Structure 1
Amino acid sequence: MGYIPPHALHNLKKYKYQGVDKSILSNYVLNPYWNWLVERWPKWVAPNTITFCGFVLVMLNFATMLYYDPAYLTEKGGATGPPQWIYFTWAAGLFLYQSFDAIDGKQARRTGMAGPLGEMFDHGCDAMNTTLEVILASQALNLGRSWWTVASQIATLANFYLTTWEEYHTGQLYLGVFSGPIEGILIIVVIFVVTGFRGPSFWDQGILTITGLEKVGWISETVPDVCLNVAFMMFGAVGLAFNIVTSYSNVYKSRRQSGQSPFTPLLYLLPFPATVLLQIFWLSHPSVGDSAIIYSSSLVPFLCAWGLMFAHQVGRVILAHVTKTEFPLFDPTWTWSLIGALDVNLPRILGRPPIIQTSPGRLHLFVLATLFISLASYARFVTLVISDITEYLGIACFTVRKRDEGGHWTSPTKARWNKVDRVVKAENGKIH
């Protein structure tokens, strides 16, 4: 065993997924489609394989963005790509990712593979997808190298952290009438489709201009004609506020029902704003209006490193949930960001130049090193956790296999039929 404490391993067998989905779209529109889709997959395909296939599609979307716009200039910065048809492939890839993400649990129940490994694997892919979609959606919205892209990253990660924090304290995954995994993803799909038809510059138009309301005197005099992409950011802020209230309301009710303090969980919200402030401190060098990272090709690797550290952070929270261990308040992966933020801001703190990031080139190399270290750290976490869970529960990650009582690998279906055969033979007095 390498990552999960030995005393917590037995809790893996007690784990049982609990979820609440109040989405109208999910229950009445998408669920019939998902039920049809899961039947198209053979029962010998493992649920984690389906999840991973969806994530590969998102990675392909991200790869095309890097190919056509490696510097992340976007159209407003002078980028000549990607061609508009690419955005349709991003829409298709993301929609299929959502579909595969929705049916992996159904496939787990079909194959008898439901358990904590699926929860960990599903949330791990979701956590990484969150940052990748921020980068892709900001490119499609023509936000590019701006604080708006950073704000989008913060809001999206905040929603994910809230959901994970809520699940830890309530014991169930709660999806409201409007949630990121359902409505949020579909909105981004629509953004990709619109961009495919109209191009990224479409989103720079004022919302009053595009709707024709600028011709209405009293509206144009009282309502600012903000750009469509900025209006979308404002809508996201409202959604975040709504989710904060909803998540805490659910935690409050759950804690009161169990006779526990409803205010103690608020302490476990602090790690997220603390890490956000740390990243903003780093990004604000040499000034907020002239960020050396945001307004350079370092932005994408910086956001990816941030996303991987976040995935490690929430991965440990989910692990604590399925093993019933203490909530992790501190994550060591943030130490590297702390070093970067302090080093680059030495002129503000001590009045002396940075020690490591002494030039734009060295700053870029340090950001790339941060990306490499965060990737290695998260890969180590994923590998060890998968190894611990599969070894202890006697299951495979990417195949529909389990160990029988004799330690031999077999499919769950075969194992169930073998058990039935033994019972029948015993009843006939033929077993020996």
Structure 2
Amino acid sequence: MHPFWNLVVKFLPTWLAPNLITFTGFMFLVLNFLMLAFYDFDFNASSAGYQHVPSWVWVAAGIFNFLAYTLGDGVGVVTLYYILWVVLFSFILSHWEKYNTGILFLPWGYDISQVTISLVYLVTAAVGVETWYQPVIFHLLYRDLFTFMIIACSFTVTLPMSLYNVLKGYRNNTLKHSSLYEGLLPFLSPFLLFVLSTIWVIYSPSNILELQPRIFYLMVGTAFANVTCKLIVCQMSNTRCQPLSILLLPMTAVVVLAITRVFTNETLLLYLWTAAVVLAHIHYGVSVVEQLSNHFNIFAFSLKKPNSD
């Protein structure tokens, strides 16, 4: 996709700061989330008896997703939860790889996945959600095919390539972290996050994932993003990855309160915890941007230089 990006950047005003372009792409994803949450909060709109999402929403979602990708650098909710974790695992693999090798190898799978998502949105707008319930061949549905492609791509392309690049660095004695413990340290917090969230899903008294799937995904995704962003900062600054994300400590208490029914209103507990996670992540992001801007004496979203006074 680099030739396409190189072409697009020629049409952007030269006064636009790179950070502003990236942030604009991120806001398209936020808009996508809010728009789809408004029209299909519980992931039921494609089911029989529910009002379907308007076609223009799918068109907008496809455009917004592709813009976010360009500017930025009917499955059951439980199945979708585990698919989400496969995607998250694939994402952090590349950054774990850079943490150890010092080089970010973005796999082709990332480009393909983002373009495919945008195309699926646009095709859905044209043919309707019912198409995805039709079998591709025999009894294999499109949704099953997509699930297979995601899992297969992760474990046959992304994972082997990351392991190969790390092994290559080990053989060439170029790894940044020589011990196995230090090399695998970035996986500790994501693994614990997976364990905690899965325990909540399995032992939830009110079946919280079925009850509030979108909010639960938001909570998990934001917590994971916080862990990943801290890993990226460690890459940038050549510092050691934190063994444990501080967010996991209160989350442990939240999960215990939920599954032991000490806090009886589990939905309210999820909303409160999700709000706390989102606010904590925003605070972290703002703090990092402010510190980097002060360190480099720049404005984050402008090419103008601060006054030296």
Q: TM-score, normalised by structure 1?
A: 0.66
2:111 counterpart of 1:205: no
Structure 1 contact 169–251 (Cα < 8 Å) conserved: yes
1:190 to 119, 125, 133: 119
The residue type paired with residue 201 of structure 2 is L
Are residues 385 and 174 of structure 1, via their aligned partners in 2, closer, same or farther at CA, if it must alter by over 3 Å? Answer: same
| More displaced 10-residue stretch of structure 1: 266-275 or 390-399 | 266-275
Distance in structure 1 (CA, Å) of the matches to 2:300 and 2:121: 33
TM-superposed deviation, 1:228: 1.3
2:97 counterpart of 1:166: yes
Structure 1 contact 282–340 (Cα < 8 Å) conserved: no
Query: Match of 1:114?
Result: none
Query: Match of 1:366?
Result: 269
Are residues 83 and 271 of structure 1, via their aligned partners in 2, closer, same or farther at CA, if it must alter by over 3 Å? Answer: same
Structure 2 contact 46–52 (Cα < 8 Å) conserved: yes
Distance in structure 2 (CA, Å) of the matches to 1:64 and 1:253: 44
Q: In structure 1, the residue corresponding to 2:132 is in which secondary structure? A: helix
Query: Match of 2:172?
Result: 257
TM-superposed deviation, 1:195: 1.2
Structure 1 contact 46–398 (Cα < 8 Å) conserved: yes
Structure 1 contact 268–329 (Cα < 8 Å) conserved: yes
The residue type paired with residue 200 of structure 1 is V
2:5 counterpart of 1:74: no
2:274 counterpart of 1:344: no
Aligned pairs for 1:2-401 within 5 A: 26=1, 31-76=2-47, 78-102=49-73, 142-143=74-75, 146-176=77-107, 178-180=108-110, 182-208=111-137, 214=138, 225-241=139-155, 242-258=157-173, 261=178, 263-264=180-181, 265-286=183-204, 292-296=207-211, 298-346=212-260, 354-356=261-263, 358=264, 362-401=265-304
Structure 2 contact 190–227 (Cα < 8 Å) conserved: no
| More displaced 10-residue stretch of structure 1: 42-51 or 197-206 | 197-206
Query: Match of 1:8?
Result: none
C-alpha deviations, 1:13-46, integer Å up to 9, x for none?
Answer: xxxxxxxxxxxxx2xxxx3332221111122111
Q: In structure 2, the residue corresponding to 1:207 is in which secondary structure? A: strand
Q: In structure 2, the residue corresponding to 1:400 is in which secondary structure? A: coil
Structure 1 contact 278–338 (Cα < 8 Å) conserved: yes
Distance in structure 1 (CA, Å) of the matches to 2:189 and 2:214: 23
Distance in structure 1 (CA, Å) of the matches to 2:129 and 2:174: 52
TM-superposed deviation, 1:247: 0.7
TM-superposed deviation, 1:321: 1.1
2:286 counterpart of 1:402: no
TM-superposed deviation, 1:235: 1.2
The residue type paired with residue 179 of structure 1 is G
TM-superposed deviation, 1:391: 0.7
Distance in structure 2 (CA, Å) of the matches to 1:81 and 1:67: 12
Structure 1 contact 251–262 (Cα < 8 Å) conserved: no
Q: TM-score, normalised by structure 2?
A: 0.91
Identity %: 22
Please identify the structure whose Cα radius of gyration is greater. 1
TM-superposed deviation, 1:162: 0.7
C-alpha root-mean-square deviation of aligned residues, in Å?
A: 2.0
Structure 1 contact 148–233 (Cα < 8 Å) conserved: no
Structure 2 contact 189–227 (Cα < 8 Å) conserved: no
| More displaced 10-residue stretch of structure 1: 369-378 or 74-83 | 74-83
TM-superposed deviation, 1:272: 2.2
C-alpha deviations, 1:92-140, integer Å up to 9, x for none?
Answer: 11111111125xxxxxxxxxxxxxxxxxxxxxxxxxxxxxxxxxxxxxx
Are residues 397 and 286 of structure 1, via their aligned partners in 2, closer, same or farther at CA, if it must alter by over 3 Å? Answer: closer
TM-superposed deviation, 1:403: 4.5
Are residues 77 and 166 of structure 1, via their aligned partners in 2, closer, same or farther at CA, if it must alter by over 3 Å? Answer: farther
Q: In structure 2, the residue corresponding to 1:252 is in which secondary structure? A: helix
Uncovered stretches (5+) of structure 1, i.e. residues with no partner:
1-25, 103-141, 209-213, 215-224, 347-353, 409-432
TM-superposed deviation, 1:320: 0.9
TM-superposed deviation, 1:286: 4.3
Uncovered stretches (5+) of structure 2, i.e. residues with no partner:
none
Q: In structure 1, the residue corresponding to 2:105 is in which secondary structure? A: strand
The residue type paired with residue 54 of structure 2 is P
Are residues 399 and 279 of structure 1, via their aligned partners in 2, closer, same or farther at CA, if it must alter by over 3 Å? Answer: same
| More displaced 10-residue stretch of structure 1: 74-83 or 362-371 | 74-83
TM-superposed deviation, 1:366: 0.5
Structure 2 contact 97–165 (Cα < 8 Å) conserved: yes
Structure 1 contact 256–262 (Cα < 8 Å) conserved: no
Structure 2 contact 26–68 (Cα < 8 Å) conserved: yes
Aligned length: 305
